[in-house]
Chains A and B, each alone.
Chain A
């Protein structure tokens, strides 16, 4: 059985936030290559400008990956049953996201968490939920 988090798992429990360094253009280039999302709107300033934007912006899936880190930094990954997000706002270059999670409910050994990614200026970029299995051992 893999160790469980030491937090008290009751509704309202807040996970330790995951603070991300300002997102650089280098990070966007590396994530484009590693994730396979080669949409130039995230990496090519010329394309972004041709689309009427002032600059490139971060991949939504990059922020979702950060939420994955928030969760797997808290519980073993094999306990993560589901993760879902809504992309609410774009993340600009040099945006500084912080991932937040709060326990909404614990029923039958399943913890449901309310998730959000927010920038330093208060903008919410992603909202979501996750379900973590507190009962089973690793599969």
Chain B
């Protein structure tokens, strides 16, 4: 079943406010093998001039996954998640994020189009705001493949 592109572009995704927890930032850094102590230790971060543990650059992606069901907008479009692939991901960074920051995650579908008869592309853009300050932006290219019934 082809994706309804107009419906995809009309999807609304509610804002989400997420606090960056220090332990979570440290766990993320440890899981990816980071050794720079500004990502792993609050004292080391402060000694380096940061207010608290520094979030690694791609950690903002995880904030979007804090929704109870992060892919519910695809469910609403009757997309079979078994056919979904993460095709591309990009970030633009405007400011550093630290433990203790609260970030508002604001996402919308910016593009939806057919790649071919059996595959659609959906682009989701996300703004990350700390108060009124735009701290980062993300674009996800989601590949929706037809799944045999």
Contacts and interface: CB of A to CB of B under 8 A. Distances in A.
B31 A30 contact: yes
A21 B24 CA distance: 22
A83 B57 contact: yes
B65 A35 contact: yes
Contacts of A62: 31-32
Contacts, number: 96
A34 interface: yes
A68 B65 contact: no
Interface bin, chain B:
20 to 34
A30 B93 contact: no
A80 interface: yes
A134 to B, nearest CB: 15
Contacts of B36: 72-73
A31 B87 CA distance: 20
Q: Find the residue from B31, B36, B49, B90 having the highest chain A CB count within 10 A.
A: B31
Interface stretch (A7-15, A84-92, A103-111): A84-92
A37 B119 CA distance: 24
A61 B62 CA distance: 10
Contacts of A85: 88-90
Q: Find the residue from A34, A51, A61, A81 having the highest chain B CB count within 10 A.
A: A34
A20 interface: yes
B92 A82 contact: yes
A64 B89 contact: yes
A2 to B, nearest CB: 9
Contact of A33 (B27, B58, B66, B94): B27
Contacts of B58: 61, 64-65, 68, 83
Contacts of A31: 28, 31-32
A99 to B, nearest CB: 11
Nearest to A129: B90
B89 A34 contact: no
Interface in A1-41: 20-21, 27, 30-31, 33-37
Contacts of A37: 62, 65
B56 interface: yes
Contacts of A61: 58, 61, 86, 89
Interface of B: 24, 27-28, 30-34, 36, 49, 54, 56-59, 61-62, 65-66, 82, 85-96, 139
22 contacts: A20-B33, A30-B27, A30-B31, A31-B28, A34-B28, A35-B28, A35-B31, A61-B86, A64-B58, A65-B28, A65-B32, A71-B57, A77-B54, A83-B91, A84-B91, A84-B139, A86-B87, A86-B88, A87-B86, A87-B87, A87-B89, A138-B49
